[in-house]
Structure 1
Amino acid sequence: MVVLEKAPAKINLSLDVLHKRNDGFHEVEMVMTTVDLADRIELTLLDNDQIKVVSESRFVPNDERNLAYRAAKLMKDYFNIRKGVRIFIEKNIPVAAGLAGGSSDAAAVLRGVNKLWNIDADHDKLAEMGAQIGSDVSFCVYGGTALAKGRGEKIKALPSPPPCWVVLAKPSIGVSTQTVYQKLNTNKAEHPNTQAMIEALENKDFEAICANVSNTLEGVTTKLHPEVNQIKEKMSEAGADAVLMSGSGPTVFALVSQDARVHRIYNSLKGFCPEVHIVRMLGNRETTC
């Protein structure tokens, strides 16, 4: 038996870090939405009691370091499953990019083994379990558009954004999320107007969405990696309606309403940035397991 799952990337329309919590995590408020750049996850039932992770990408570990592996292990242990799974990951989302590729893979495995092993848990249960794996996994279980609070595990569905193009650009650098959070001073950082972004989504107001994109972590990452600001400048000069870094970076995205501008922005980045993708927003939640 084989189960196929898509694991879409996410972007942060807004990301606010409020303060550091007593448990060592940071309290956040994030408005996130999925885009149609996705990893492909193929899950094959194994009779023997093991988890195998396979990928053609050299950046994908095949053991406990991989969130997809940990997702399968968590489900096996929690539901006392004695069968195994082979997890094949076709990697299309850039690694360590601020696009939740690893978290989305883990969420896809939670959904997939739920079917493969006939567990029949609902999405809320899977999202609750996903919070044990990583801060973005709960959101990725549902996908669509949502407000994430707490350390990212408290999810409230939001209306999807109006249709538009998204240009993603990742420079050839890696960013340590841990380092970015360690260097963040929440008292001095710029904070988004999260409520304004929520209202813009509720009103399907593309201009208001563009006016309110904001990321508290951006100032830290751009000091460490000036390339991020250079990408933002190129996108703006080429006609993007809004530009913002996603997550802790280094990927930058542009929101673009007019078809004619999309390839102008894409072409302005080719040669400067090794990974550039033109995608659309998905926006809608998963509805079934």
Structure 2
Amino acid sequence: MKRKSYGKINLSLEVLNKREDGFHNIDTIMQFVDVYDEIEIETTNSNTIEIVCDEEGFPKDETNLIYKGWEALKVFYKENPGVRVEVIKNMPIAAGMGGGSSNCACVMEALNEIWNLNFSKEKLQEISKDIGSDVPYFFENRTLRATGRGFDFYDMIKIEDIPILIINNGCKVSTPYVYSKVEMAKERKMDKLVESLNRREIKKEFFFNDMTKVSVEVCPEIEDIIEDMYRLDAKVSLMSGSGSTVFGIFDSYEECNNAYNLLKVKYRYVFNTRAIRRDYEG
């Protein structure tokens, strides 16, 4: 079985406070983009999971979220749970696009079908909450506002077919490190952005990411990418998640294509893409 494992960007991200369980309460808007890893899942007689990927730095052991997702589901399957999962990575690793979480949810959805577990989306989300805070979002298919640990979801206006340029220079940022250093929000800002988006406005002054300051200390080139985006007419440019991926939203595909052609030779990962629903197979 072959599946596409789509990435996301955080249109904005607010860090509110630290919880008693050690996690943080956040307020964010998550958006699927047409950038994806390719995953193939096959059943085996091995009674275990084999994870295959040629990408340097991609874990293939029990630390991989795919492994954790398989481990969480196999307790509900009474037969041989052996599978082989091959991942072709297109998204950068540890970059703020949720690649590992997306891979996990993608494999869990596939196993739910292959093993005839017939679990609902909500059941899969509940099982996945302890695997990673981003994982439940990847069972959804649209733009959502997320609060709490990141999986209390609220409907948003539909955002699709907006030109987006995504750039990553290959620098990896540790999410736990960023959370350990980030300053908590002193005032709430997300409602203003939501109101603006509901008016179908994209205004630079309403977009933000509370994690940027810490991540820039790890990867200073984040600021250079944002400056390049604005120099090439992006309406908004922002770091996604804990970084180091930066996205730019453009008025037109022509402007986005122009920026792509000029920057693709400068940075390691450059994706000329758009906002989508996850079920888009274009």
Taking the TM superposition and a 5 Å limit, the aligned residue runs for 1:1-289 are 3-186=1-184, 193-203=189-199, 205-208=200-203, 210-282=204-276, 284=277
Q: Which residue type is aligned with residue 240 of structure 1? A: A
Shift of 1:31: 0.5
**In 2, distance between residues paired with 1:4 and 1:145?**
24
Shift of 1:157: 3.3
2:160–2:274: 8 Å Cα contact kept in structure 1? no
**In 2, distance between residues paired with 1:80 and 1:63?**
23
Q: Single out whichever of 239-248 and 44-53 deviates more from structure 2.
A: 44-53
Q: Which residue type is aligned with residue 258 of structure 2? A: R
**In 2, distance between residues paired with 1:47 and 1:54?**
16
Q: Counterpart of 1:168 in 2: which secondary structure?
A: strand
Q: Which residue type is aligned with residue 202 of structure 2? A: E
Query: What residue ranges of structure 2 are gaps of 5+ in the alignment?
Result: none
1:174–1:250: 8 Å Cα contact kept in structure 2? yes
Q: Counterpart of 1:253 in 2: which secondary structure?
A: strand
* Corresponding pairs, count: 280
Q: Cα 1:88–1:141, aligned 2, differ >3 Å: closer, same or farther? A: same
Residues 180-214 of structure 1: per-residue CA shift (max 9 Å, x gap): 111112156xx6622223233434x1424x44221
**In 1, distance between residues paired with 2:80 and 2:157?**
40
Q: Single out whichever of 103-112 and 150-159 deviates more from structure 2.
A: 150-159
> When the two structures are superposed, what TM-score results if normalisation uses the length of structure 2?
0.93
Shift of 1:78: 4.0
Q: Cα 1:16–1:78, aligned 2, differ >3 Å: closer, same or farther? A: farther
1:192–1:212: 8 Å Cα contact kept in structure 2? no
1:160–1:201: 8 Å Cα contact kept in structure 2? no
Q: Single out whichever of 111-120 and 221-230 deviates more from structure 2.
A: 221-230
Structure 1 vs Structure 2 CA RMSD:
1.9
> When the two structures are superposed, what TM-score results if normalisation uses the length of structure 1?
0.90
Q: Counterpart of 2:75 in 1: which secondary structure?
A: helix
Query: What residue ranges of structure 1 are gaps of 5+ in the alignment?
Result: none
**In 1, distance between residues paired with 2:12 and 2:113?**
33
Q: Cα 1:91–1:224, aligned 2, differ >3 Å: closer, same or farther? A: closer
Shift of 1:51: 1.1
Residues 127-169 of structure 1: per-residue CA shift (max 9 Å, x gap): 1111111010000111321111111122233232152111011
Residues 217-275 of structure 1: per-residue CA shift (max 9 Å, x gap): 01221233221111101110111011000000011000012122113322342343111
Residues 14-68 of structure 1: per-residue CA shift (max 9 Å, x gap): 1111001111101111100100100111111224421111112232222111111
**In 1, distance between residues paired with 2:78 and 2:197?**
41
Structure 1 runs (4+) greater than 6 angstroms displaced:
none
**In 2, distance between residues paired with 1:140 and 1:187?**
26
Q: Which residue type is aligned with residue 166 of structure 1? A: I
Q: Which residue type is aligned with residue 232 of structure 2? A: A
**In 1, distance between residues paired with 2:185 and 2:142?**
31
**In 2, distance between residues paired with 1:150 and 1:50?**
34
1:6–1:108: 8 Å Cα contact kept in structure 2? yes
Q: Which residue type is aligned with residue 143 of structure 1? A: N
Q: Cα 1:154–1:120, aligned 2, differ >3 Å: closer, same or farther? A: same
Identity %: 34
**In 1, distance between residues paired with 2:76 and 2:157?**
33
